[in-house]
A = this chain, B = another copy of it.
Amino acid sequence: MREGDDIVVIDCGLSFPTEEMLGIDIVVPDFTYLVQNKEKVRGVFLTHAHEDHVGGLPYLLREIDVPIYCTEFTQALIRQRLEEKLPHKQLDFRIFKPGDIIEAGKLSVEPVRVTHSIPENCSMAIRTTHGIVLFTGDFKFDFTPVDGKLANITRFGELGREGVLILLSDSTNVERPGWGPSERAVSEGLRKVFGEAEGRVLLTTFASNIHRMQQVYEIAAEMGRKVAVVGRRMEQNLDTCERLGYVRIPKGTRIRLDEARQYPDNKLAILTTGSQGEPMSALVQMSKGEYGRLQIKAGDTLIYSARPIPGNEAAIWRTINRLFDQGCRVVYESPTPIHVSGHAYQEELKMMINLTRPYYLAPVHGEPRHQHLYQEIARNMGYPDHRVFTMKDGIPLMMDDTSAHQGEAVPAGRVLVDSSGTPGVTDDVLRDRNNIAKDGIVVVTVPIDMTKGVLASDPAFQARGFHGPEGILDAAYDVVYDGLTSLSRDELRDTNRVKHDVSDTVRKLVQKRTNLRPLVLPIIVEV
């Protein structure tokens, strides 16, 4: 957000590709606006360490130098990966505690503690000339958080009294009525499954869900089970948190995976990554019997203590099916919850509005359907529609003491990153990939003797990813050959024309006979 010559950036996340974005690993924001105004950017303030809030940072930091404000915990979780991605960059971390007030030009930023599915999560209150702009960040109101650190609801109320101009609110769970269960509620569900399991208990969750892991250690200790961790990311996070005291593992409970064979199955629990069915994750490889360090066996119980991120459902179900087929019982639904969400339900969203009593409202974390449902809730709380804004990427909201309106578009959008790590895969490249992915590619080489203006040898056809009926390429050859030999010497020397003719001929013939539309790539070889 910007006032005058001061810009503060709240979070810098990534998102995941849709199924048309072939070959794309992650999607990051277009930073053009920030680069154009880089001398105004006072800092990036991180609410918490989830990928959708910090994963875009390496790409921003390649383009501008800017201090990163965050908690000690957030820094601990993200520093190593930032350094891996930016080996030559001096990172300017500035650690805050909730309640600090950080000057950022004429603006100031106050992080306010609030609960979520990761430790040390904050809302951000930014003081401007016209009042407080309050970003909730991701939040829920959990009155029994695992680390005992409650949301500072009094501070939210004080900010409300001081004057909140606009509340930019999480809206992810606006579809859910009532009040969400506490993270602590999971203990009961897990305890029940642990109690029933005759063999090993495996549990998969998000690698950053420290409090979930904390509870697994506690329950395992209660029941006399040792806990090993599978999955590099999860192990790193646990190491870091144990070192800094953000997780308290009961003494003697944590073992290394290679020590696991020393214990009988009913004395073992395993924490594992792979809750989104990621092909390279430990869990998916175990489900295929392809993970060297651990094999699934009959009598195992896997607790799916996560939720599918939309788009991953099919991969997750395939993993679960394979686990069942290996004799593993998979618990993915339970009357006592084995997973709870980190996002506020309807009554919690209303409580945030009630506490902060903002003049304007804008749901910012959620899809359009969530934003629209949030608007319905606001309407029910007495907010007229003109005081609730449905934000769109790149359309700024302009506010002063007396009014607010959506301004002119600034550069914004999605930048695609593939496994090269270089952002900027273009729409043209994606279009080619999608075309080839559908029906394959047919390459036609046409060797032309440019001096004589004749074919230097016969055209040749090569296809990959193409499933045409037998003889179709021979038929295409005949038509192309006839076409080329009917051209005059000068026409044959016109390589653009030849390319166009060849491509057109082949496409039409193939489509007519097979209904397939492979990408046709004509290559003129001039000899």
Residue positions of A touching B, CB distance < 8 A: 18-19, 22-23, 175, 310-311, 313-315, 317-318, 320-322, 324-325, 329-330, 333, 367-369, 371-372, 418-422, 424-426, 429-430, 432-434, 436-441, 443, 445, 447, 449, 456-457, 460, 462, 464-469, 514-516, 519, 521, 523, 525-527
Contacts and interface: CB of A to CB of B under 8 A. Distances in A.
B527 A465 contact: no
Contact of A418 (B318, B419, B426, B516): B516
Nearest to A22: B437
A144 to B, nearest CB: 28
A23 B440 contact: yes
Contacts of A468: 420
A322 B464 contact: no
Nearest to A309: B314
Contact of A19 (B314, B425, B464): B314
A464 B368 CA distance: 34
A441 B436 contact: yes
A440 B515 CA distance: 23
Given A23-B439, A525-B460, A526-B457, A324 B369 contact: yes
Contacts of A436: 433, 436-437, 441, 464-465
Contacts of A317: 310, 367, 369
Given A419-B439, A515-B419, A445 B523 contact: yes
A420 B330 CA distance: 40
A465 B18 contact: no
A57 B371 CA distance: 45
Protomer copies: 2
Contacts of A464: 432, 436, 441, 519, 521
Contacts of A445: 445, 523, 525
Contacts of A437: 22-23, 433-434, 436-437
Complex A-B, nearest 9 residue pairs according to Cβ-Cβ distance, in ascending order = A437-B437, A433-B465, A432-B465, A311-B314, A321-B368, A23-B438, A22-B437, A420-B514, A324-B372
Nearest to A432: B465
Nearest to A390: B325
Contacts of A456: 447, 456, 527
Contacts of A422: 467, 469, 514
Given A19-B19, A437-B433, A438-B22, A322 B368 contact: yes
A369 B420 contact: no
A165 to B, nearest CB: 26
Nearest to A472: B420
A320 B420 CA distance: 33
16 contacts: A19-B315, A23-B440, A310-B314, A321-B367, A329-B372, A418-B439, A420-B468, A420-B514, A422-B467, A422-B514, A430-B465, A436-B441, A436-B464, A436-B465, A441-B441, A443-B523
Given A19-B19, A23-B439, A516 B333 contact: no
B525 A447 contact: yes
Nearest to A430: B465
Given A314-B19, A420-B515, A439-B419, A429 B465 contact: yes
Nearest to A469: B422
Given A22-B438, A445-B523, A521-B443, A467 B369 contact: no
Contacts of A439: 23, 418-419
Nearest to A455: B527
A225 to B, nearest CB: 23
A447 B445 CA distance: 10
Contacts of A419: 438-439, 515-516
Nearest to A466: B429
A105 to B, nearest CB: 35
Contacts of A465: 22-23, 429-430, 432-433, 436
A418 B467 contact: yes
A403 B92 CA distance: 74
A425 B521 contact: no
Contacts of A469: 420, 422
A421 B515 contact: yes
A342 B402 CA distance: 56
Contacts of A426: 467
A459 to B, nearest CB: 10
A322 B371 CA distance: 12
Contacts of A466: 429
Contacts of A424: 467
Contacts of A318: 18
A515 B523 CA distance: 27
A440 B315 CA distance: 24
Contacts of A320: 369
